[in-house]
Amino acid sequence: MQVLFARHHVRVYRFVLRLVRDETAAEDLISEVFLDVWRQAGKFEGRAAVSTWLLAIARFKALSALRRKPEQELDEETAAAIEDTADTPEVALQKKDKSEVLRQCLNGLSAEHREIIDLVYYHEKSVEEVAEIVGIPEATVKTRMFYARKKLGELLKAQGIERGWP
């Protein structure tokens, strides 16, 4: 268990943290994830990669925790993720370079869109693996990623960055 924990806990933590946006809650959740793994080790059938299995459990735990949070609190967190929206695009651009704005907009996506962006780009999950983790058909994985990227483009545009797409 220590080896498994050492190998995977940082990435599982980051995945959960991006969903719940609370470091203490994310730490509590990853200990729950690995406790479940310890309890269910015999049920692991080896059809998926270990990391895919872990992320699927982590996602379930994170979403359950989010459901327990008051809706108002979630809206406030999403709003806070995009700072300085009162600035004009020019001012925003002066303040930050394009990379910073892009990262800020990645933070400003909905939990559903953040999740798929992270799974594909950071956790390097294939279409099939994302489908397994999120529990949706593969075709939906592709379209959800498309709409997440489209939303990202819209957020960038609102911050004064026109990429020519979408």
**Interaction between residue 38 and another protein (CB under 8 A):** yes
Cβ of residue 18: shortest distance to another protein, in angstroms? 7
CA separation for the pair 103, 95 (Å, rounded): 14
* Binding-site member from 88, 95, 121, 154 for another protein (CB under 8 A): 121
**Interaction between residue 80 and another protein (CB under 8 A):** no
**Interaction between residue 99 and another protein (CB under 8 A):** yes
User: Looking at 32-40, 61-69, 76-84, 87-95, which segment touches another protein (CB under 8 A)?
Assistant: 32-40
Site string (48-67) toward another protein, x via CB under 8 A: xxxxx---------------
Q: Which of 105, 99, 100, 103 is nearest to 85 (CA)?
A: 105
* Binding-site member from 25, 133, 134, 152 for another protein (CB under 8 A): 152
State the maximum Cα–Cα separation within the chain, in Å, rounded to a whole number: 57
Q: Which of 90, 110, 77 is nearest to 162 (CA)?
A: 90
Tokens found for residue 68: 């327990």
Tokens found for residue 29: 């959740």
